[in-house]
Chain A
């Protein structure tokens, strides 16, 4: 697909420039010495190269590659989520069902495009069945909290994330065979919004937005980041079946949801006394630290596209 290739070239160019700036900062400002912010910036940029190459490889493999990649990310995300939250021995079987049945089932249903079932598998069936499994183990200690952990983990890390590859299965008149571009649009806009909020916040951030939940989020970061990422979304309208105005609207919704996702996930982290979900991605933290905005944006974007374009 020529559009994807073009996007990849742009991404490589942007990363190339970012890498150059990061290295210049390292030598000019930090004079080659250790410097917390600049070293973290460079680690983040390096990790972005890996993430872009992984995504490109998945897209090159087609539908199976994309669904496979997101199923794997689901496992990694759920692992991070459950690792820091409270469960007991009585939840082990329910969690095993989550990892080994719910994840494969959800992504298989996405692969065959059975919307009617994958949109209720976790919100209805996992929701009803997994607490039964836990209750049968006979340990009522902090029961509601434990089943909430399991259900929230599955909703965020599996259900939310599965709506990214689900975009491929939408039948959009006049856009057949090009649905992967919607995934690219979603990911580029959401991630750009994260990066732009970070940059705007670092450069102009004055007024903290929710200091008790996420000290790094500022009003300036939010407004500047969301506005510029919305402009970016509008500029990427040629990737999508949307008009430029519609692309801007979609991008605005995605960015708002993405921001909210980051905020909600920060609240969970704060409550558990951690800063990052894990350590798999150097500079960024865990997989969930990178995916938090996508988990919240994907289902809403999916439903908007489905409602207006199929």
Chain B
């Protein structure tokens, strides 16, 4: 049943967006990774997940906000059961568990992760990427052996912009770029700037059209 719903999710994403992955800087090999991407809609992790080959998809869990996915029974079912997301509480005041600890726990169990370092959806038309929060840096430092793969999702912000009811069919492509890593000399800001630039470079190279 759950497996069927997962297939259905991937199939609907394909039906609507014809999503495909373009491995422009990495290869789809079976190793532990953190895929980090631009965040424009609630369906973003479905697109990255759908763009992965099925064997990798099964081992890859998205990181998502519990404030959204724990809100009602349906979302909880989709978020926890169908998607098997690592749910973190983005609000320091209310949370009972450290988000980095939760993500590390998932990594230690062998899973790869999908992470959106902007921390929230970017809903504007004019800014391609919001500033990164520090989560990616802290996670990368806590688990330095895990490869960090930038993923630019082209077009996804236009399928279902915030506040709209109906998604429209548009072609989406996920570009998997060259992995980055934390070096000895990195400080937080330098690393996050580099990670952010890796996404912007993918966009500039492969997705220049729509914004021009």
Contact = CB atoms under 8 A, between A and B. Distances in A.
Given A86-B209, A279-B20, 18 more contacts: A75-B169, A79-B171, A80-B171, A82-B168, A83-B170, A83-B171, A83-B210, A85-B210, A87-B158, A89-B125, A89-B161, A89-B164, A92-B158, A95-B168, A96-B164, A100-B166, A272-B212, A274-B209
B208 interface: yes
A273 B18 contact: no
A141 interface: yes
Interface in A72-86: 75, 79-80, 82-86
B120 interface: no
A91 to B, nearest CB: 9
Interface residues of B, number: 18
Given A92-B164, A278-B18, A86 B169 contact: no
9 contacts: A79-B18, A83-B155, A83-B210, A86-B209, A89-B123, A89-B125, A89-B161, A93-B164, A273-B208
Interface in B161-212: 161, 164, 166, 168-171, 208-212
Contact of A272 (B161, B170, B209): B209
Nearest to A89: B161
B209 A82 contact: no
A278 B171 contact: yes
Given A83-B155, A87-B158, A278-B18, A92 B210 contact: no
A242 to B, nearest CB: 38
A280 interface: yes
Nearest to B125: A88
Nearest to B162: A89
A79 B212 contact: no
Interface string B139-166: 0000000000000000100100100101
Mostly, the B contact residues are loop
Chain B CB within 10 A, most for which of A79, A86, A278: A79
Contacts of B161: 89, 92
A237 interface: no
A3 to B, nearest CB: 36
Interface in A41-79: 75, 79
A95 B170 CA distance: 11
Interface in A252-274: 272-274
Q: Considering residues B155, B171, B208, which has the most beta carbons from chain A within 10 angstroms of its beta carbon?
A: B171
A87 B164 CA distance: 15
Contacts of A92: 158, 161, 164, 168
A99 interface: yes
A274 to B, nearest CB: 7
Contacts of B208: 273
Nearest to B212: A86
B209 A84 contact: yes
Nearest to B163: A89
A274 B208 CA distance: 10
A139 B210 CA distance: 17
B168 A141 contact: no
Nearest to B161: A89
